[in-house]
C-alpha cells in the first residue's frame, strides 16, 4: 500500500513549502540570508516566533501533514469510506448513522425528504457524529444544499429556519459586501446550530440570462466581476458562521442550455474565453480561501473532449495548477444523468478519484461505489497514494471546520434569527433603473395593477403601512404603479413599473420610473415601500443585463 512512501512525500512537500517561504518578499531573487542582530538589539532579546505556515483555505501545513499521515494509516476499507458522502431515504436519524457506521463514510447529505423538523435534523446530525466517533478522532460531515431561493433544504417551509432569497439578490446587493457577508454568516449560524457542517454554496456560475435553463437566479449575475465580488463576500460570511462551503459548478454552468441532471452539457469555448468569463468567480473564490470547489458534470472541449469535468484529469489540473487551488475538490452529485447514462456507480467513483477528485458526493449506490474503489485498489487501476491524498485532504478539512465551529459559538437561539440580516440584504438589493434617486417616487395616492394576487396584497399592505394610500382604479390617484412578475407584459402602461422577481420585463416598460426588487416576500415589499416614499435609498444594481438599461440610475 506504500503508506510510508505517501508519508515521506508529504514530509518532502512540506519541506519544500517551508523553503519557498524563505524567498524575498517580492517573490524574486535569492533567499534572504540570516544576519546578526541589529545594533539596537540586546543579547537578552528572544527571537520572534515564526508563525506556522497556513494553507490558503485554512489549515496549517502541519495540519495537512498530520491528516495525510492519518489517512495513510487507514485500511483500504476505511480510506474508501472517507471519500464518500451518501444520500439516503427518509427522516429516521438511525438510517444515516447506520450507513456511516457500516461503510465508514465521511458523512451524508440531507435533502428535503430528510427534513421534518429542527429536532429531527439535530438528532440526525448527532447520530452521524456518534457513529463517526466510534472509529476515528475527526468529525463527520453533515451536509446540505442551501443556497437560498429554489435550492434551500432548511427554510421556513420545512421548519423554524429563515427563508433566504435567491443568490441573485446578493448579486444585486454586491455593492454592499458587508451586508452580503452578514446575511450568509446568519445562514451559516442557523445551519451550524442545526448540526450541519457543510453547505454546498455559494453558486459561482455566471448566468447568461433567460436562455440559462438550469442556474438562473441561483447565479449572482451575468457579469463575471460582480459574481466574483458576491461570491467572495458570501464565503467570508459562511466561514464566520462556522460552516464549510463549496464554489460550484466548476468550470461554470450558467451559459449552458443542457441540464447536467439529465445529460452531459458541453462547453465548446476556448480556455482563454473561459478564463475571462465563467472562471473569473472561481479564481476569485480560490484566492479568497474557498475550502472546496465542486466540479460539475460539464465537458470542456478545450480540456478533454466529451469527458465530464468531474471525471477529467485536465479539469482538476487546471483547477490546481492554473487557479492554485489546494483545498478539497468535491464532485457534483454522482447520481446525475450526465454520468449515469454511460457509467456504473463503481466506474464513476474510480474515474473521479483517478481524475483528481477528493470527495465523492451522493453516488447512486454508495455501497457499489465503495466496493468499486476497493476492487480498483486490488487490481491496481486505482493507486492507494491517490486515495490517501484524497482522504487526507478531507480529514484536514473536517478538522478545520471543527475549529471554525468553535469560533462561531452558535446555539439553538441562532435558528430562525437571520430575519434582520435577510431584510438588510433585500433592502440593499432594490435597484432604481430609471427615475429619480431621492425623494418620493410615488403617491401619496396610488393605483396598483398587475402581479399575482399574493404579490398584489403583500405590496398593498406594505405600501399602506409606509403611508401610501392604495385607492381603487375608479378613483383618482397620483401614481399608477404596475407590478411585474415573470411572464408579465412589460410593455403595459404605468408611471412606476416594479419587477418583483425577474427584472427582464423592465426592458419593455414605458414607465418613467423602473425599479427591480427581485423578490415578493414581506421584507422586500417593506423595503420597496420605503424607497417609494423617499424614506430610503435604492443602493442595488442590476446583476444581469436587461436590454439596454443601465445597471442603476443612481450609480
Domain ranges of the chain: 61-411, 430-533
51 contacts: CB under 8 Å, gap ≥ 6: none
Top pLDDT among 265 and 232 is at 232
pLDDT band at 150 (very low <50, low <70, confident <90, very high): very high
pLDDT of residue 51: 56
pLDDT band at 256 (very low <50, low <70, confident <90, very high): confident
370 contacts: CB under 8 Å, gap ≥ 6: 77, 80, 81, 84, 103, 349
pLDDT of residue 413: 97
CATH architecture classification, 61-411: Alpha-Beta Barrel (3.20)
pTM score = 0.89
Q: What is the number of alpha carbons within 13 Å of residue 134 lying toward its C-beta?
A: 16
Rounded distance between C-alpha atoms, residue 328 and residue 546, angstroms:
36
**Residue range 13-67, pLDDT digits in tens:** 333 333 333 333 333 333 333 333 333 333 334 444 445 778 999 899 999 999 9
Residue 12 has pLDDT above 80, yes or no: no
Rounded distance between C-alpha atoms, residue 146 and residue 202, angstroms:
9
Evaluate whether 132 touches 140 at the Cβ level (below 8 Å). yes
Does 430-533 match 61-411 at the fold level?
Answer: no
pLDDT of residue 308: 95
Rounded average pLDDT over 525-553: 97
Q: Which of 225, 261, 489, 512 is catalytic?
A: 261
Rounded distance between C-alpha atoms, residue 62 and residue 16, angstroms:
13
Evaluate whether 553 touches 435 at the Cβ level (below 8 Å). yes
Taking the domain 430-533, which CATH number applies? 3.40.50
Q: Hey, what's the torsion of the CAs at 68, 73, 75, 80, to 10 degrees?
A: -10
Residue 92 has pLDDT above 70, yes or no: yes
pLDDT of residue 489: 86
Rounded distance between C-alpha atoms, residue 485 and residue 458, angstroms:
14
Top pLDDT among 202 and 211 is at 202
pLDDT band at 213 (very low <50, low <70, confident <90, very high): confident
Q: Is 344 exposed, middle or buried (0-12, 13-18, 19+ CB in 10 A)?
A: middle
Cα 301 to the chain's mean position, in Å? 25
Rounded distance between C-alpha atoms, residue 165 and residue 172, angstroms:
12
Q: What is the mean pLDDT of the chain?
A: 90
**Residue range 340-372, pLDDT digits in tens:** 888 899 999 999 999 999 999 999 999 999 999
Q: Count other C-beta atoms under 10 Å from residue 341's C-beta.
A: 10
Rounded distance between C-alpha atoms, residue 497 and residue 549, angstroms:
14
pLDDT of residue 555: 74
Rounded distance between C-alpha atoms, residue 195 and residue 172, angstroms:
30
Query: Own/partner pairs for 412-416, CB < 8 Å, 24+ apart?
Result: 412/193, 413/193, 414/186, 414/189, 414/190, 414/192, 414/193, 415/118, 415/160, 415/161, 415/190, 415/193, 415/194, 416/160, 416/161, 416/162, 416/190
Rounded distance between C-alpha atoms, residue 181 and residue 281, angstroms:
16
Q: ∠229-232-237 over CA atoms, to 5°? A: 125
H/E element, 353: helix 345-355
| The three cell numbers locating residue 338 | 450526465
Please state which of the ranges 236-240, 281-285, 296-300 shows the lowest mean pLDDT: 296-300
Rounded distance between C-alpha atoms, residue 515 and residue 525, angstroms:
12
- DSSP assignment of 367-380: HHHHHHHHHHHHHT
Rounded distance between C-alpha atoms, residue 222 and residue 253, angstroms:
12
**Residue range 263-274, pLDDT digits in tens:** 688 889 999 999
pLDDT of residue 258: 67
Top pLDDT among 490 and 247 is at 247
Q: Where do we find the cell 381603487?
A: 472
H/E element, 49: none
Known catalytic residue: 489?
A: no
Any idea what DSSP says for residue 51?
P
Rounded average pLDDT over 304-327: 96
Q: Is 300 exposed, middle or buried (0-12, 13-18, 19+ CB in 10 A)?
A: buried
Rounded distance between C-alpha atoms, residue 217 and residue 231, angstroms:
14
| The three cell numbers locating residue 139 | 468529525
**Residue range 106-148, pLDDT digits in tens:** 999 999 999 999 999 999 999 999 999 999 999 999 999 999 9
Q: Which of 199, 203, 278, 332 is catalytic?
A: 332
Beta strands in 225-337 (DSSP E): 244-250, 266-267, 292-295, 299-300, 328-331
pLDDT of residue 487: 84
Known catalytic residue: 332?
A: yes
Amino acid at each position: 500500500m506504500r503508506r510510508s512512501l505517501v508519508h515521506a512525500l508529504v514530509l518532502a512537500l512540506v519541506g519544500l513549502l517551508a523553503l519557498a517561504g524563505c524567498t524575498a518578499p517580492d517573490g524574486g531573487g535569492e533567499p534572504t540570508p540570516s544576519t546578526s542582530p541589529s545594533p539596537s538589539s540586546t543579547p537578552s532579546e528572544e527571537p520572534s516566533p515564526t508563525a506556522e505556515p497556513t494553507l490558503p483555505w485554512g489549515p496549517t501545513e502541519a495540519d495537512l501533514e498530520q491528516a495525510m499521515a492519518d489517512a495513510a494509516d487507514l485500511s483500504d476499507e476505511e480510506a474508501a469510506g472517507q471519500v464518500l458522502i451518501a444520500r439516503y431515504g427518509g427522516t429516521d436519524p438511525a438510517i444515516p448513522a447506520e450507513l456511516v457506521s457500516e461503510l465508514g463514510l465521511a458523512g451524508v447529505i440531507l435533502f428535503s425528504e430528510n427534513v421534518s423538523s429542527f429536532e429531527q435534523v439535530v438528532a440526525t446530525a448527532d447520530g452521524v457524529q456518534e457513529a463517526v466517533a466510534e472509529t476515528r478522532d475527526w468529525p463527520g460531515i453533515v451536509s446540505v444544499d442551501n443556497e437560498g431561493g429554489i435550492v434551500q433544504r432548511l427554510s421556513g417551509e420545512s421548519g423554524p429556519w429563515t427563508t433566504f432569497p435567491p443568490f441573485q439578490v446578493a448579486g444585486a446587493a454586491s455593492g454592499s459586501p458587508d451586508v452580503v457577508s452578514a446575511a450568509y454568516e446568519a445562514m451559516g449560524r442557523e445551519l451550524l446550530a442545526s448540526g450541519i457542517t457543510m453547505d454546498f454554496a455559494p453558486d459561482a456560475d455566471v448566468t447568461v440570462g433567460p436562455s440559462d435553463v438550469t442556474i438562473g437566479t441561483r447565479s449572482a449575475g451575468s457579469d463575471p466581476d460582480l459574481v466574483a465580488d458576491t461570491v467572495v463576500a458570501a464565503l467570508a460570511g459562511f466561514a464566520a458562521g462556522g460552516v464549510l462551503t463549496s464554489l460550484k459548478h466548476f468550470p461554470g454552468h450558467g451559459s449552458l442550455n443542457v441540464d447536467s441532471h439529465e445529460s452531459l452539457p458541453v462547453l465548446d469555448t476556448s480556455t482563454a474565453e473561459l478564463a475571462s468569463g465563467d472562471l473569473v468567480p472561481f479564481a476569485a473564490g480560490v484566492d479568497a480561501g474557498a475550502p472546496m470547489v465542486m466540479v460539475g458534470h460539464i465537458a470542456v472541449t478545450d480540456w478533454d473532449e466529451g469527458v465530464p469535468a468531474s471525471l477529467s484529469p485536465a479539469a482538476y489540473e487546471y483547477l490546481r495548477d492554473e487557479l492554485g487551488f489546494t483545498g478539497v475538490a468535491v464532485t457534483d452529485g454522482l447520481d446525475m444523468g450526465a454520468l449515469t447514462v454511460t457509467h456504473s456507480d463503481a466506474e464513476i467513483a474510480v474515474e473521479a478519484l483517478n481524475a483528481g477528485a477528493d470527495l465523492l458526493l451522493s453516488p447512486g449506490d454508495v455501497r457499489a461505489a465503495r466496493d468499486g474503489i476497493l476492487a480498483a485498489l486490488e487490481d491496481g487501476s486505482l493507486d492507494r497514494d491517490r486515495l490517501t491524498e484524497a482522504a487526507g485532504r478531507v480529514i484536514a478539512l473536517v478538522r478545520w471546520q471543527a475549529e471554525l465551529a468553535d469560533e462561531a459559538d452558535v446555539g439553538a437561539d441562532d435558528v430562525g434569527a437571520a430575519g434582520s440580516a435577510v431584510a438588510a440584504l433585500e433592502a440593499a438589493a432594490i435597484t432604481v433603473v430609471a427615475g429619480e434617486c431621492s425623494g418620493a417616487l410615488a403617491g401619496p395616492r396610488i393605483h396598483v395593477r398587475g402581479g399575482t394576487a399574493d404579490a398584489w396584497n403583500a405590496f398593498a399592505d406594505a405600501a399602506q403601512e409606509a403611508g401610501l394610500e392604495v385607492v381603487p382604479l375608479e378613483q383618482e390617484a397620483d401614481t399608477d404603479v404596475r407590478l411585474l412578475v415573470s411572464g408579465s407584459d412589460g410593455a403595459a402602461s404605468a408611471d412606476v413599473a416594479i419587477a418583483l422577481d425577474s427584472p427582464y420585463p423592465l426592458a419593455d416598460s414605458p414607465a418613467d420610473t423602473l425599479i427591480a426588487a427581485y423578490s415578493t416576500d414581506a421584507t422586500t415589499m417593506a423595503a420597496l415601500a420605503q424607497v417609494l416614499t423617499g424614506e430610503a435609498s435604492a443602493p442595488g444594481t442590476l446583476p444581469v443585463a436587461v436590454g439596454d438599461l443601465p445597471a442603476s440610475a443612481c450609480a
